[in-house]
């Protein structure tokens, strides 16, 4: 099976712009989660989608939003970018394996805000 894919891999934006990141889960996985990784804050949970519905949300401002499509692909949007949004954004998909939901990660999108 193909793994989780994320596009684009690298992105450079300027303050005030908006950005959309895409994530395609492993075939058959219906849950997609997003994480932000920065040197200062570490790995933080953004939100999780299952069957096109947001089930969990982390403690991020409303500028961060997401959605999931009927084919389980997910997008994450950040509006009015700030310098502090520079980070590695990781997407993970999961499916219950023997009752355990294990998340498998994509390679990440490196966002730089100038």
Contacting residues toward other proteins, per CB under 8 A? 31, 33, 35, 42-43, 45, 48, 50, 55-56, 58, 88, 90, 92, 94, 99-105, 107-108, 110
Least CB distance to other proteins at residue 84 (A): 19
Measured from the CB atom, the residue of 31 and 113 that comes closer to other proteins is 31
List of residues 6+ apart from 53 with CB closer than 8 A? 68
Least CB distance to other proteins at residue 107 (A): 5
Measured from the CB atom, the residue of 81 and 91 that comes closer to other proteins is 91
Least CB distance to other proteins at residue 16 (A): 27
């Amino acid at each position: 099976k193909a793994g989780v894919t994320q596009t684009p891999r690298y992105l450079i934006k300027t303050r005030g712009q908006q950005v959309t990141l895409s994530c395609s889960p492993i075939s058959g996985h219906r849950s997609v989660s997003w994480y932000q990784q920065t040197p200062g804050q570490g790995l933080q949970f953004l939100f999780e989608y299952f069957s096109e519905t947001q089930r969990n949300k982390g403690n991020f401002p409303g500028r961060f939003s997401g959605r999931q499509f009927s084919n389980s692909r997910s997008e994450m949007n950040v509006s009015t970018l700030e310098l502090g949004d520079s980070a590695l954004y990781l997407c993970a998909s999961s499916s219950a394996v023997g009752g355990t939901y294990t998340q498998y990660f994509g390679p990440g999108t490196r966002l730089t805000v100038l």
